[in-house]
Homo-oligomer: A and B are copies of this chain.
Amino acid sequence: MTYCVGMVLQRGLVFMSDTRTNAGLDNISTFKKMKTWSVPGDRIFTALSAGNLGTTQSVISLLDERTKSSADREPALLSAPSMFQAARLVADTLREVIARQRPAGQTADSTFNATMIFGGQIAGSDPKLFLIYPEGNFIEASADTPFFQIGEIKYGRPILVRAFKEDMAFEEAIRLLLVSFDSTMKANLTVGAPLDYLCVERDTMRIAASGRFEGDDPALQTISRIWGDALQQALDGLPGVDLRSV
């Protein structure tokens, strides 16, 4: 499994992804699930992926090749005229890779499925964030739904639902995401550190900050510990409930 989140803030876009992949329970590896393409100042795109690693790596490689070879007859991500067209290119590539596996004898196509978060900005238009389904269709984030999660989304969702604010600073957003990821990692073995993050400031078409929190990163461990203590205090501070004795 996997856990990835993309957010649209007033200040720009924020992405975070874990790095654990597993084929069965005894074959666990670390792979980066975040990929960025950019022409600084003109456009920047980031993709997060969850699902079959063969599928998502193929999608990224295909998009990458199409990015590098300008002679390629396929439309290139870096020349897409709009974020919508860029998202359509990613979605078509995802659907194409999944479809290519079908004739190989595997009837349960869900095995090859993958879901992606794709976001970025092209100079002259607003930052956009999309959730791309394995079927190749996608939805766009809006003020009502300003973040997308993929993978093992449920454990870390309540805190996002409650604490997301679109006027957060990047640092606050990353802190919120660390709490959401920490809650997920505490409850589920298939999501694991290191955690990659990326912040794109609005209208700069440049990476504002990016990096990785290792599992033993003091910042991550401190946040996990202080958050645990704070939750306990918050529980202790709740008003009593009257139980109906029988």
Question: Residues of A at under 8 Å CB distance from B?
Answer: 152, 154-159, 161-163, 170-172, 174-176, 178-179, 183-184, 186-188, 197, 199, 206-211, 219, 222-223, 226-228, 230-235, 237-246
**Known: A155-B155, A158-B155. Contact between A230 and B237, CB under 8 A?**
yes
Task: Check A207–B238 contact: CB distance below 8 A.
Answer: no
User: Across the interface, do A199 and B243 meet the contact criterion of CB distance under 8 Å?
Assistant: yes
Label chain A's interface by main secondary structure.
helix
Q: Check A234 against B234 for contact (C-beta < 8 Å).
A: yes
Task: Report B-chain residues with C-beta under 8 Å of the C-beta of A162.
Answer: 186, 228, 231-232
B208, A183: Cβ atoms under 8 Å?
A: no
When C-beta atoms are compared, the residue in chain B nearest to A172 turns out to be B235
Q: Closest approach, in angstroms, between the C-beta of A193 and any C-beta of chain B? A: 14
Complex CA–CA separation, A176 to B175 (angstroms): 24
Further 7 A-B residue pairs, CB within 8 A, beyond A208-B243, A230-B237 = A155-B155, A158-B184, A174-B241, A199-B243, A209-B245, A222-B239, A226-B239
Asked if B154 and A210 sit within 8 Å, CB to CB, the answer is no
Contact status B244-A209, CB under 8 Å: yes
Distance in angstroms from A68 CB to nearest chain B CB is 21
Q: Once the chains bind, are A175 and B241 in contact (CB under 8 Å)? A: yes
B179 touches A243 (CB 8 A): no
Query: Pick the contact of A231 from B211, B222, B234 — CB < 8 Å?
Result: B234
Contacts of A240 in B (CB 8 A): 171, 175
Q: Which residues of B contact A245 (CB under 8 A)?
A: 208-209
Q: Which B residues lie within 8 Å of A170 (CB)?
A: 243
Residue picked from A171, A188, A234, most chain B C-beta under 10 Å: A234
Contacts of A188 in B (CB 8 A): 154
Using A186-B158, A231-B162 as known contacts, say yes or no to A209 and B246 having CB atoms under 8 A apart: yes
Nearest residue (CB) in B for A177 is B241
Are A210 and B244 within 8 A (Cβ)? yes
Contact between A231 and B171 (Cβ–Cβ < 8 Å)? no
In the complex the two chains form, what is the Cα distance from A211 to B245 in whole Å?
8
Q: Given A158-B183, A162-B186, A242–B230 Cβ distance below 8 Å?
A: no
> CA A74 – CA B36 in complex, angstroms?
65
In the complex, are the beta carbons of B186 and A231 less than 8 A apart? no
B187 A154 Cβ-Cβ under 8 A: yes
For residue A197, which residues in chain B have a CB less than 8 angstroms away from its CB? 243
Question: Which residues of B have CB within 8 Å of A154?
Answer: 152, 154-155, 187-188
